[in-house]
Structure 1
Amino acid sequence: MKMLKTLGYLAAASTLGATISLSAQADEVNIGFTGPLSGGAALYGENTLSGLRMAAEEINANGGFEVDGEKHTINLVALDDRYSPSQAATNAKRLKQESNVPAVFVPHSGGIFALMSFNEQSEFLVMAYSSVPSITEKGNELTLRIPPTFDGYVNAFTELAYDEYGKKLAMGGATHEYAKIWSDMIKDKWNSLGGEVVADNPMDYNKSADFYTGVSRLIAADPDVMFIGGASEPTGLVARQARELGYQGPFILMDQAKLDEVAEVSGGMESLEGSIGVVPLSAYTTESAKSFVKRYNKEHGKNPGSEAAFMYGALHGLVNAMTIAGTTEDVHAIRKAMDKGLATLDNSKNPYEVDGVNDKGGFLTDPTVAIVKDGKIEEREISEIIKK
């Protein structure tokens, strides 16, 4: 089956949309996406969307998937929300009303919480790409959290930095809701260890490319460690400008920022010496990860971020759950089948080898920790870092 990859952007005063028509069959299943496809976080949004595209194209190229004896294909309908929670909510309502989507993928916590205020009433699954723990603590029966929660990252990153580098921390994270939650948890953990937060100057990573003033305020406090993080591209700019202003210490990177992607902007992995973040998928040694990286690299000419890999596996898992549930419309039955849908997924379609879904709706996978030493990424075991 021939794939149609043309993005049809729909211009309007409040939204920019893109519809990816992957098949002209009458038995298409529309799957929604709302995320940042323009502005400072556009690269992050495109990375998440690229994983969904890749999964959808593979599914359709293989003749689609069977549900209750009938073949179906995937039609991915993507809308730009520019990282705005209110626009994400508007997009989701449009996706449900116009395309009758059973699920909407959204890659930012503000948008996720906005959708969770009405998704149960409107009956669609929120496929949440965010590691904020409270997403699955609210008891929303139709929300699934895709990456592992970041509380494990916060504790491990903070303790590792405190033990290796010193007691003075400067905070230069982003201003969106997800980053604010991260920042609050980092500060609380740092203080609990006996450290001192010597500067706190959040910056708008989505609207600016000039961070010199903000970074100067952090450097003036003479920190041992600097916390930064938003989407990878602006985070790389923050790191590069900090180096240009003379900061030589390590960074703690929020999990949204990926070390390998940040390094492309900051000046190479050497520019991140000593920094702590999540292990990039390109550094994984499992066959499922290596296979996905190879296929993604062939198609896109670059290594995938974790967003692309998680989204790729999540869409395959969602389709598998529809097959198991015997429906593309009953979202409660599909949600119930998600655990088995992921657990029985072929590893070639599951780069992070997600084992299933816990009772609160979180995908079952472990967080990872990396530190840059001599210009190379070293993986550390969380169990060896976090104090008992």
Structure 2
Amino acid sequence: MGLKHNVKFVAAAIAVMAATAAQAQDTVIKIGHSGPLSGAQAFSGKDNESGARLAVEELNAKPITVAGKKLKFELLSEDDQGDPKAGVAAAQKLIDNGVRFIVGPYNSGVTIPASRAYNDAGALVATVATNPKITQQGYKGLFRVNASDSQLGSKMALYAANVLKFKNVAVIDDRTAFGQGVAEEFKKQARASGMNVAGHEFTTDRAFDFNAILTKLKNKKVEAIFFGGYAPQAAPMARQMKQLGITAKLLGGDTICTAEMGKLGGESVGDNVLCSQGGAVLDKASAGPAFKARFKARFKKDPDVYAAAYYDATMLYAQGMQKSGSVDPQKVAAAISAGTYQGVAGNYAFDARGDMKESPVTIYTFKGGQPVPLSSY
């Protein structure tokens, strides 16, 4: 009995040692997420983080092997508060923790300074931030996994001119890198399409009272007001337009194409609001419905605007590691630049700057507080 017992004990010990050795051989890959996890935009930051988290969990459930070692993914998430200064501090924290693969930041104003820190550290960045300046910096490891302002703003202007047949419009922007960029692109295309831009007013991403600038635009009898900014400002703007008897449509970019806009705006947000969002409609994408079901099962809510893009960005890194046979960021970046990846939200192929070669834009309106697609082009 004693010998049998000893044999069993030794066998068990060997099994434990083998398992421990196998775990020790796993290569740990840290994925860093930077986004607004507190404040008015926290709903977007948490949604984006959940998209990345789902990808990490799925990669760990069916591990991939690179250079003979199993990869174990870890998500490290930092709250950049949607603030440039906090964004650079978040970047430094992730870099100091050995993170070399970043999903985010969400805001253009954060991405522009933070991407410099990531680039200097040799880290890769996959962002949905839309300001054209982001990819004009010349960083080889930076990829925009979404349409840019030039696409979002110009397609909204084309829709207003060609489909809605508007002649007289106005612009308001919140002076953030995103708001200013998308508003300028709308204005440029609006004029090129033969519309009159009757006024361009300015506010901030902390303001909630827009009565003075809205009254000024009401007197100009505009048919639409394009707002370059975020849902926490766009929703009260829609309410105040209704209170002032302004019948003009409220137009915007991807940041107002969110269920939060309907929630904050209530009955003031309906078919009077239109917005442009990068990517095709998730429900119509081949992998879209299955992704939505998995996301809802895991987080008990539907994915919002960019959860699928953050999921895709994480998977894009994993595929880059497999294709290059390496976890070295520069080799992974080269594989991403040279290849294509079919994700949930679209087909990812990048030009020399790191912009997507093709990024369809979908125009949405609102029904029952939810964004619903009108057309993609």
Length-normalised TM-score, structure 1: 0.80
Gaps of 5+ in 1: 1-22, 383-388
Closer, same or farther: CA 248–165 of 1 in aligned 2, 3 Å: farther
1:32-43 superposed matches below 5 A: 32-43=32-43
What do residues 265-307 of structure 1 show as CA deviations (whole Å, max 9, x unaligned)?
A: 3236962336343378766312211111222233334332231
Match of 2:133 in 1: 134
Question: How far off its partner does 1:25 sit?
Answer: 9.8
More displaced stretch, 171-180 vs 228-237 = 228-237
Q: What percent identity do the matched residue pairs reach?
A: 21
Deviation at 1:310, TM superposition (A): 0.4
- Residue equivalent to 1:367: 360
Question: Judging changes above 3 Å, is the alpha-carbon distance between structure 1 residues 337 and 160 closer, same or farther for their aligned structure 2 residues?
Answer: same
Structure-2 residue corresponding to 1:332: 330
Is the Cα–Cα contact under 8 Å of residues 364 and 375 in structure 2 kept in the other structure? Answer: yes
Matched to 1:380, the amino acid is S
1:299 and 1:268 mapped to 2: Cα distance?
30
1:74 alignment partner, SS class? strand
What is the CA–CA distance in structure 2 between the aligned matches of 1:274 and 1:230, rounded to whole Å?
Answer: 14
Distance 2:375 2:280 in 1: 14
Partners of 2:153 and 2:276 within 8 A in 1: no
What CA distance in whole angstroms lies between the structure 1 residues aligned with 2:219 and 2:282? 35
Partner of 2:6: none
1:299 corresponding residue in structure 2: 298
> Which residue of 75, 98, 102 corresponds with 2:100?
102
**CA-CA distance at 1:309 after TM superposition:** 0.7
Question: Which secondary structure does the structure 2 equivalent of 1:198 belong to?
Answer: strand
Residue number in structure 2 paired with 1:91: 90
Residues in 2 aligned to 1:216 and 1:351: alpha-carbon distance in whole angstroms: 43
Counterparts of 1:24 and 1:301, CA distance in 2: 34
Alignment of 1:223-372 (within 5 A): 223-258=222-257, 260-267=259-266, 271-273=270-272, 275-278=274-277, 284-328=283-327, 330-339=328-337, 342-343=340-341, 350-372=343-365
How far does the alpha carbon of each residue in 1:101-133 deviate from its partner, in whole angstroms, 9 at most, with x for none?
112221122222213334333211122222233
1:113 aligns with 2:112: yes
Cα deviation for residue 231 of structure 1 reads 3.1
Which residue pairs with 1:61 in the alignment? 61
What residue identity is the alignment partner of 1:45?
A: G
Secondary structure of the residue that 2:306 maps to in structure 1? helix
Contact in 2 for aligned 1:29/1:72 (Cα 8 Å): yes
Aligned residues: 351
Moved more, 275-284 or 107-116: 275-284
Larger gyration radius, structure 1 or structure 2: 2
SS state of the match for residue 287, structure 2?
helix
Instruction: Give unpaired runs (5+ residues) of structure 2.
Output: 1-22
Name the counterpart of 1:28. Answer: 28
- Number of the residue aligned with 1:17: none
Determine helix, strand or coil for the equivalent of 2:347. coil
Which protein has the bigger helix share?
A: 2
The answer on whether the counterparts of 2:26 and 2:69 sit within 8 Å (CA) in structure 1 is no
